[in-house]
Amino acid sequence: QVQLVESGGGLVQAGGSLRLSCAASGRTVSSYTMGWFRQAPGKERDFVAAISWSGRSTNYADSVKGRFTISRDNAKNTVYLQMDSLKPEDTAVYYCAAGGTTYYSGRHYPTDYGSWGQGTQVTVSS
């Protein structure tokens, strides 16, 4: 129903910053909960951040709270993840995902999201 394409990943040193973008096509994402997940080698795909359709509600994993910021621009059909103070443990493939029309607080799970981007690699060197 919606196609998602991430961009902005790359290699950075610890303490640096990156901004990931997720551009949607096929239909607008203004009515969807949007999320970011990440998956490190040998690990499960874990929740990073989520934002409601209005952008007024956000939720973050404890490991990134205070360092990452999720935002969205519905007019541009784009969601962002600003990552500051990056740590080596942030190294992972980051995925953008579109969920349903109902936002919920707490940890989100991959099974609650129906559309996924291809992923973008973020590598943080020590």
pLDDT digits (tens, 9 = 90+) for 17-46: 999 999 988 766 667 899 999 999 999 999
What is the distance between the alpha carbons of residues 95 and 64, in angstroms, rounded to a whole number? 15
DSSP, res 13: E
Q: Please state, in angstroms and rounded to a whole number, the distance separating the CA atoms of residues 47 and 32.
A: 17
**Amino acid 102: pLDDT:** 78
- What is residue 100's predicted lDDT score, i.e. its pLDDT? 77
Instruction: Give the three-class secondary structure for 92.
Output: strand
Q: Which pLDDT does position 118 carry in this prediction?
A: 96
CA–CA distance, 67 with 17 (Å, rounded to integer) = 10
Q: Is residue 91 within 8 Å of 122, Cβ to Cβ? A: yes
pLDDT of residue 2: 85
Mean pLDDT by 10 residues, the chain (126 residues): 92 98 81 92 95 91 97 92 98 94 85 94 97
What 6-12 contacts at long range (C-beta under 8 Å, 24+ apart), as own/partner pairs, is: 6/94, 6/95, 6/96, 6/117, 6/118, 6/119, 6/120, 7/120, 8/120, 9/94, 9/120, 9/121, 9/122, 10/121, 10/122, 10/123, 11/123, 11/124, 11/125, 12/86, 12/122, 12/123, 12/124, 12/125
Helix (H, G, I), strand (E, B) or coil at 69: strand
